[in-house]
Amino acid sequence: HPPFDVHAVRRDFPVLQERVNGKQLVWFDNAATTHKPQSVIDRIAYFYAHENSNIHRAAHELAARATDAYEGARERVRRFINAPEVEEVIFVRGTTEAINLVAKSWGGQHVGEGDEIIVSNLEHHANIVPWQQMAAAKGAKLRVIPVDDSGQVLLDEYRKLLNDRTKIVAVTQVSNALGTVVPVKEIVELAHRAGAKALVDGAQSVSHMRVDVQDLGADFFVFSGHKVFGPTGIGVVWGKREVLEDMPPWQGGGNMIADVTFEKTVFQPIPNKFEAGTGNIADAVGLGAAIDYVNKVGIENIARYEHDLLVYGMAQLGAIPGVRLIGTAADKASVMSFALDGYSTEEVGHALNDEGIAVRTGHHCAQPILRRFGVETTVRPSLAFYNTFDEIDRLVTVVRRLAGQRRTR
Ligand code: PMP
């Protein structure tokens, strides 16, 4: 039985009580975004009702409350990913903005003509396009770690890609399209041995497994609040102090300066140097509350329970005639991508929606990896800790019915 009370957890998430097409909602679109527990919703409302102010630059009481709440959230993030120092945690809009910040600021300074950037075949477009844009601007080259037929990266091929022109290696920890858990610690170590920096995209990992940035050893770790039961519009860049201190700011404006004259601006130390303008204060506070919630359930408990759910779901789906599972690596989290013979992915998605079951169908902003498997789209149920075995049974029942109707269509 599960290491926590799943039904008690489900009662904390108001959206999970919704009905869709007369059925109790099943939310299997967690890789796209997760739902928010009442404590997160309440925390944001409390901020606006009792603490709302701009931060860091006023003598009044509410400025102090808002600053405390915002900086308290930063400390929660630090502990959540075991960062050494709270100043290394920078709030941004999300993973996309985080990677753009690193590509523009670090890449702008350190990547030149003929240099190389390595990503994997598994990456989300957010971890491809910013590097591609930067490479095009600099005359640098984007190189790609291939994957095997299970969807796992080929480390030997990666070793061959590394050379003294490699400036940075940017890889996802968990694939949003296939669920592959990538051996990022090893990838980071090899990058460092080649003299390159390493960025880990944690958008799909932080809600499913313990992340310790000191253990990973990467230079940058990035994630989005909305995929870890927090609000949209808030995310994190963690970077090593010495790397961040060496980087130029990427946006200029208020909050990030120490002194401005028309001749010259002196910037604030990190993290403010990278937080120009009024940030998303309330949602940072909401993210802090989401982390509190995850800590209460326990990330190890979550990982253990989700593993059992995933193994069960993959076996059930894989046993249906005509189902092709895409992404069958031994180490996976959350995602069960598949195609069903005789049906478009949209048809499967609509049939599931008719039964109140929400899945993503499409390319999942990861076209290169789907094309590696010869498809343009998949059906992608993705799990979170509030999902149940019963919900998987409901999904499997619909897919099995469609599979059975295939011949008579
Ligand atoms: N990387 C990965 C692995 C993702 O799954 C996502 C979101 N699907 C992103 C980056 C982009 O995150 P966001 O849209 O929150 O910026």
The residue length of the chain stands at: 409
The pLDDT of residue 229? 98
In angstroms, rounded to a whole number, what is the distance separating the alpha carbons of residues 369 and 377?
Answer: 10
Pairing mode of beta strands 357-358, 26-27: parallel
pLDDT tops 90 at residue 321: yes
Give me the CATH topology for the region 41-295.
Answer: Aspartate Aminotransferase; domain 2 (3.40.640)
Q: Which atom of ligand 1 is nearest to the CA of 364?
A: 8
Q: Which amino acid is at 374?
A: G
Ligand 1: distance of its center to the CA of 105 in Å? 20
Q: Is 100 in the pocket of ligand 1 (CB under 6 A)?
A: no
Positions marked catalytic: 365
In angstroms, rounded to a whole number, what is the distance separating the alpha carbons of residues 302 and 132?
Answer: 35
Q: Is 205 in the pocket of ligand 1 (CB under 6 A)?
A: no
**pLDDT tens-digit readout, 385-401:** 999 999 999 999 999 99
**pLDDT tens-digit readout, 62-114:** 999 999 999 999 999 999 999 999 999 999 999 999 999 999 999 999 999 99
CA 180 to chain centre: 13
The domain spans of the chain are 6-30+298-404, 41-295
The pLDDT of residue 406? 83
Q: Which of 33, 96, 123, 337 to mutate to test the pocket of ligand 1 (most atoms within 8 A of CB)?
A: 96
What is the percent of the chain where pLDDT is above 90?
97
pLDDT tops 90 at residue 28: yes
In angstroms, rounded to a whole number, what is the distance separating the alpha carbons of residues 40 and 340?
Answer: 37
pLDDT tops 70 at residue 356: yes
Mean pLDDT score of the chain: 97
Q: Is 34 in the pocket of ligand 1 (CB under 6 A)?
A: no
Closest CA to 127 of 82, 174, 160: 174
Q: Is 203 in the pocket of ligand 1 (CB under 6 A)?
A: yes
Name the pLDDT band for 280 (thresholds 50, 70, 90).
Answer: very high
In angstroms, rounded to a whole number, what is the distance separating the alpha carbons of residues 226 and 230?
Answer: 5
Ligand 1: distance of its center to the CA of 50 in Å? 32
Q: Is 176 in the pocket of ligand 1 (CB under 6 A)?
A: yes
Q: Is 363 in the pocket of ligand 1 (CB under 6 A)?
A: no
The pLDDT of residue 2? 77
Which residue puts its alpha carbon closest to atom 14 of ligand 1?
Answer: 96
Q: Which of 365, 367, 380, 382 to mutate to test the pocket of ligand 1 (most atoms within 8 A of CB)?
A: 365
Mean pLDDT of 123-151: 98
Q: Is 127 in the pocket of ligand 1 (CB under 6 A)?
A: yes
Ligand 1: distance of its center to the CA of 203 in Å? 5
Q: Is 361 in the pocket of ligand 1 (CB under 6 A)?
A: no
Mean pLDDT of 14-24: 97
pLDDT tops 90 at residue 242: yes
Give the chain as a 3 state SS string: CCCCCHHHHHHCCHHHHCEECCEECEECECCCCCCCCHHHHHHHHHHHHHHCCCCCCCCCHHHHHHHHHHHHHHHHHHHHCCCCCHHHEEEECCHHHHHHHHHHHHHHHHCCCCCEEEEECCCCHHHCHHHHHHHHHHCCEEEEECECCCCCECHHHHHHHCCCCEEEEEEECECCCCCEECCHHHHHHHHHHCCCEEEEECCCCCCCCCCCHHHHCCCEEEEEHHHHCCCCCCEEEEECHHHHHHCCCCCCCCCCEEEECCCCEEECCCCHHHCCCCCCHHHHHHHHHHHHHHHHHCHHHHHHHHHHHHHHHHHHHHCCCCEEECCCCCCECCECCEEECCCCHHHHHHHHHHCCEECEEECCCCHHHHHHCCCCCEEECECCCCCCHHHHHHHHHHHHHHHHHCCCC
The pLDDT of residue 223? 98
Q: Is 172 in the pocket of ligand 1 (CB under 6 A)?
A: yes
171 vs 409, more confident: 171
The pLDDT of residue 58? 77
The pLDDT of residue 408? 63
The pLDDT of residue 353? 98
**Do residues 344 and 364 make contact, with C-beta atoms less than 8 angstroms apart?**
no
Q: Which atom of ligand 1 is nearest to the CA of 95?
A: 16
Q: Which atom of ligand 1 is nearest to the CA of 227?
A: 15
- Same fold yes or no, 6-30+298-404 and 41-295: no
Going from the C-alpha of 152 to that of each of 181, 184, 199, the distances in angstroms are 8, 11, 18
Q: Is 201 in the pocket of ligand 1 (CB under 6 A)?
A: yes
The pLDDT of residue 407? 62
The pLDDT of residue 409? 61
Task: State pTM to two decimals.
Answer: 0.98
Mean pLDDT of 118-133: 98
The pLDDT of residue 343? 97
Which residue puts its alpha carbon closest to atom 5 of ligand 1?
Answer: 176
Question: In terms of C-beta density within 10 A (0-12 exposed, 13-18 middle, 19 or more buried), how is residue 259 classed?
Answer: exposed
CA 252 to chain centre: 26
Q: Which of 224, 234, 283, 360 to mutate to test the pocket of ligand 1 (most atoms within 8 A of CB)?
A: 224
**pLDDT tens-digit readout, 204-230:** 999 999 999 999 999 999 999 999 999
Q: ipTM of this predicted complex?
A: 0.98
**pLDDT tens-digit readout, 140-188:** 999 999 999 999 999 999 999 999 999 999 999 999 999 999 999 999 9
Pick the CATH number of 6-30+298-404 from 2.10.109.10, 3.40.50.300, 3.90.1150.10, 3.50.50.60: 3.90.1150.10
